[in-house]
Amino acid sequence: MRLQDKVALITGGASGIGLATVEKFVAEGAKVVVADVNAERAATVADRLNADTPDSATSFGVDVSVFAEVEAAVQHAVDVFGRLDVIFNNAGIAGGKPLLEHDPAVDYEPMIRIDQDGVYYGILAAGRQFRAQGGGGVIISTSSIYGEQAAELSFTYSAAKAAVISFTRSAAYELAQYGTRAVAITPGRVGTAIINQFSDELKATFASEQLRGTMTEPEEIANVVAFLASDEANVINGTVVHVDDGYSVFKQRLDLPTF
């Protein structure tokens, strides 16, 4: 098990990609803090994991838009498991509307606080802990395909996710002296609750935007995150790992005429 005895803090860990990653990390031998704004759901996840694998998980309610709460989540990992080896800054929200219809208090500020500031807070709190431990540690943050391109209804979301990529590069540069790695992932269309709430027609359109013609499963993203957290990925640092099933390499398939 490549994550044996590593301690990981996973935000947004009670659902979607976060939950799949929590389960994958425990299966790979890690100790995990299930951190989520829904403290009750996080506790349920941790209890279920501990029933099958005793002492493998603990839960912590956290609003990642509040630095003091992110610091407390990191401290909780240290208090329970003695150290921190990995943080997966995964918590986020989605949504949007045309730019000129924005109410900044609704359509800009909340998403920036969670999707952008929340990642900054995670990098800062974990980075300080890694330094205090004598170095090491891995920081993985969830960006998006939208962090590298413009898209419909995504003015704020794209900005926040682009910031995650910039944060990752700068963190890798500044924290290299402590032996800490930083990596961003850019999921494409993943079958989480955020997307599954839409109509079958829209979900079919989303699926067609990827090369396999299907939605990515959260477990497939979790597999990549587990690899990036492991010592096998020691040379992957300061970069963006596309986990988008080819979304970013083409716009749409064309019905070509006969030549």
Read off the pLDDT of residues 204-225 as tens digits, 9 standing for 90 and up: 988 999 999 999 999 999 999 9
- In whole numbers, what is the pLDDT of the chain averaged over residues? 96
**Could you read off the pLDDT of 50-84 as tens digits, one per residue?**
999 999 999 999 999 999 999 999 999 999 999 99
Q: pLDDT at residue 247 above 80?
A: yes
Q: Which of 10-19, 124-133, 148-157, 247-256 has the lowest mean pLDDT?
A: 247-256
**In the predicted model, what is the mean pLDDT of residues 109-129?**
98
Model confidence at 5: pLDDT above 90: yes
| Dihedral class, residue 47 (left if φ above 0, else alpha if ψ from -120 to 50, else beta) | alpha
Percent of the chain with pLDDT over 90: 88
228 near 10, Cβ under 8 Å?
A: no
Q: Are strands 57-61 and 86-89 parallel, antiparallel or unpaired?
A: unpaired
**Per-residue pLDDT at 154:** 94
Mean pLDDT (whole number) for 161-166: 98
Confidence at 41, pLDDT banded by 50, 70, 90: very high
The catalytic site residues sit at 157
pLDDT (0 to 100) of residue 95 = 86
Six-digit token string for 225: 């995150």
> Which uninterrupted H or E stretch holds 183?
strand 181-187
**pLDDT above 70 as % of the chain:** 99
How far apart CA 184 and CA 166 sit, in angstroms, is: 9
Average pLDDT of the residues in 158-177: 98
pLDDT tens for 178-196 read 999 999 999 999 999 888 8
For residue 24 the two structure tokens come to 């994958």
CA angle at 115 for the pair 19 and 224, rounded to the nearest 5°: 40
**Structural domains in the chain plus CATH codes:** 7-241 (3.40.50.720)
What's the DSSP call for residue 255? -
Q: pTM for the complete prediction? A: 0.96
Q: Is the pLDDT of residue 9 over 80?
A: yes
Q: Return the pLDDT at 170.
A: 98
| pLDDT bracket for residue 259 (50, 70, 90) | low
User: Could you tell me the pLDDT band of residue 124, with boundaries at 50, 70 and 90?
Assistant: very high
Pair 178, 131: CB distance under 8 Å: yes
**Residue 241 burial class via C-beta count within 10 angstroms: exposed 0-12, middle 13-18, buried 19 and up:** middle
Q: Which pLDDT does position 196 carry in this prediction?
A: 85
Strands of the sheet containing 86-89, edge to edge, are 57-61, 31-36, 7-11, 86-89, 138-142, 181-187, 239-243
CA-angle at 236, arms to 185 and 133, nearest 5°: 95
Reference 142, options 222, 210, 219, 83; nearest CA is: 222
Per-residue confidence (pLDDT) for residue 152, from 0 to 100 = 87
Q: What is residue 216's predicted lDDT score, i.e. its pLDDT?
A: 97
